[in-house]
Amino acid sequence: MENEQQLDYLQVASGCGNHYKWQLSFGQEWLTIDNDHVIETHYCQPGAKGITINTSNGQVFIDFDTLQTTKTGVQVRRLSFLPQGQREEVAWYFRDDSLWREYGSQGSGMLASSVSSRDVEDQYTLSPQGAFVFMVGFTNYSLNFSTMTQTNYITGLSRNVRRRPKFTSSTVSPNSVPSMASSSQHAVGGYKWEFMGNEGEWTEYQAHLCSFDSPAIESQYQLNPQGQLNFNTSYFSYTLDFSRMCQVNNRIGTTRAVRRTFINGSQQSSSLSSTPRWQFLDIGGIWRDYSSSKCTISSQDIELQYQQNPTGTMRFNTPSFTYELNFSAMTQKNLATNTTRRVQRI
């Protein structure tokens, strides 16, 4: 009976233009997650550890590596439905020193591997718990699917591996957030892209001033979060580097910081997004939000990094200094002066 219900559901869902569906179970039936394209968009990004969504039973964190939740008694699943004989396009990534790189791609100063994502997927389909060997230059590597690791035969160095579906343009819509069908809906306005102006103020990209505005940049970012975007103004051409979050003047080489912030479209409502607020303890014992015009990050940016690695660190800049935020110690450190301030998440 469950298989029959699932088949009927897939037939309905396939008519909606998506080839996937995310669902949660709180111990009984599976419930469809509204606006699950937001979850899918994050899931397609290799650097995303997971996502927190709001439900009628509280917040639920979905771990993308294990496809499990951290909430007791709550299960998650991702259904995929494609025409018979058609496979979902999947990408395989390994963790480089600082980035997730797709197999077959060639990074700066690196040799491309002898296998592509398609090759890895073929091996995975044959033996999901097995392993296989490939070469990069003259070095052999072993890719172990059961542990999702890649090991250098010579040095013994192991790197984490991730398998994620390829992003498709129908995956994202910037005007909604994931929630359960039984929960109230929250309107949002997508993401805003800004660069640091001459006066230390954040300035949003506008289509009448350059060839891209925030929605257009966000669309390009979703296609390749580690890529670059070229655009023009009346006088110069620029490169927007998503991996470094900076804008470079292609003629004179000037570099400016760039930030991407989540915009809640229902600001007139008293029930705003439930994203936690991040604050630092300023001089005089005053707690201040990470939302000032001179800071390169917002509470939303910090929360996203925190969800990916709650015991890790992240760095950000102001016009004068570079700081490191330590999640395990809940501190902020000025890397130039070594001054440390307390941080809180509320």
Sketch the domain layout of the chain as residue ranges. 20-80, 90-165, 190-263, 278-345
Write down the pLDDT at residue 168: 59
Task: Note the pLDDT of residue 295.
Answer: 65
What pLDDT shows up at residue 23?
92
The pLDDT value recorded for residue 162 is 93
User: How confident is the model at residue 272, as a pLDDT?
Assistant: 31
Report, as ranges of residue numbers, the positions in the chain whose pLDDT lies below 70.
Answer: 1-17, 97-98, 106-113, 167-189, 198-200, 207-208, 263-275, 291-296
- Tokens 């069908």, located at residue: 181
pLDDT at residue 98, rounded to an integer: 62
SS3 267: coil
CATH number of 20-80: 3.30.720.50
Q: Tell me which fold the domain 190-263 belongs to.
A: 3.30.720
- The domain defined by 278-345 carries CATH number 3.30.720.50: yes
Query: Nearest Cα to 277, choosing from 294, 258, 264?
Result: 264
Domains 90-165 and 278-345 share a fold: yes
CATH 3.30.720.50 correct for 90-165:
yes
What is the model's pLDDT at position 152?
Answer: 92
| Measured distance CA(331)–CA(340) in Å, rounded | 7
Contact between residue 208 and residue 64 where contact means Cβ atoms under 8 Å apart: no
